[in-house]
Amino acid sequence: MIGLDAKLFGILISGGLTLMAYSFLYRENRAYRIAEHIYLGAGVGYGAILSAKYVYDNAWTPLVKGNAVWAIPLLASLLLYFYFSKKHFWIYRIPTAAIIGVGTGIVVAADFRTRFTEQIRATLVPLFVSNDPYKSFNNIVIVLGVVGSLLFFYFSREHKGPVKGMVTFGKYIIMITFGAAFGQTFMARISLIIGRIQSLYLWPAWILLPVSVIVVGVAIGWDRFKQKKPEPTTKK
């Protein structure tokens, strides 16, 4: 278009795609499906390029420069494509086993420290802090809350007696946790909506807003018209 530079064109494209995706809120329609499929193709294509760049820079280039050891992971990567062979599918399992083995080993060794022993250490706080009843109260809630929440998921024995009281306390702590999670999740999603609407206010994207109102209005009118007009019956 005359006078429209690349930045403005980009704003129009992003605004248009945003409104096509938001049309799902009215109902599922072709415009939304097109936006969804563009998203899929673009995301996968972009991810492929970044992955290819990583392999090119860090494995292929050193191999070409004479470091032959890089041939091993590159050749092993080719074995992954036996995924598509029915007869030789088992060969695909070899590099997969390597990736999963390394990934699992890296996570589990460190995870037990970070998410278990260090968390126990962080829970071992003094229950009574002198001259600070607020901190004492918080520490008591944390310790009893952690123990109660863990007991809530312990099903090997029946919850009765004093254990039942702890489990009930733990249950309410978990409910508060889920409530906080809902509040934070909602806050996050609204932030995304804010970000999208801020981008729609940019020139020339805001022109699309009245256009989309007209399009939705026409769609609603067409729906109502089709509902009122009975379908002609055909005799067989």
Partner 1 sequence: MQKLATIDPRIIFLLLFICVAAPLISPVGLPVGISPGTSGMYKFIEGLPSGSFILSAFDMSAAVAPECYPQVAAFTTHLKNKNLKIVEVAFDSAGPMFADQALRDVFGASKDHPLYGKNFVNLGYIAGGEAAMRSFAANPKMIQKDFYGKDIKDLEVMQPLSSAKDFKLVIVITGSQVDNFVRQFGDPYGVPIAGAVTAVLVTRVMPFYPAKVIGYLNGLRGAAEYELLVKRPGMALAGMDAQSAAHLLVIIFIIIGNVGYMVRKSGRS
Partner 2 sequence: MKLKLPLAITIVLVLLEVADYFFTVPIINSIARDVTVATLVMSACAIGIGIISLARIHVTRITKKRPHSLESAIMLVTLAAFILIGAVLGSANPNYVYMFQNIIVPLDSTMFSLAGFFMGSAAYRAFRARSNEALFLLIAAVLVMLGQAPIGETLWSGFPGISQWILDVPNTAGVRALIMGIAIGMLSLTIRMLMGHERGYLGATA
Q: What residues from 79 to 118 belong to the interface with partner 1 (CB under 8 A)?
A: 102-103, 106-107, 110-111, 113-115, 118
Check binding of 53 to partner 1 (CB under 8 A). Answer: yes
Check binding of 77 to partner 1 (CB under 8 A). Answer: no
Q: Quick one: what does residue 125 bind among partner 1, partner 2, none, with the CB cut-off 5 to 8 Å set by partner type?
A: none
Q: Considering the complex, what minimum distance in angstroms separates the CB of residue 164 from partner 1? A: 26
DSSP notation for 37-105: HHHHHHHHHHHHHHHHHHHIIIIIHHHHTT-GGGHHHHHHHHHGGGGG-STTHHHHHHHHHHHHHHHHH
User: What torsion do the CA atoms of 173, 178, 180, 183 make, to the nearest 10 degrees?
Assistant: -160
User: For 84, how many CA atoms within 13 A lie in the half-sphere containing its CB?
Assistant: 2
Q: Which is nearer to partner 2, 87 or 235 (CB)?
A: 87
- Residues numbered 57 to 76 that lie near partner 1 (CB under 8 A) are 57-58, 61-62
Q: Which is nearer to partner 2, 98 or 213 (CB)?
A: 98
Residues that bind partner 1 (CB under 8 A): 25-26, 46-47, 50-51, 53-55, 57-58, 61-62, 102-103, 106-107, 110-111, 113-115, 118-119, 122, 177, 180-181, 184-188, 190-198, 201
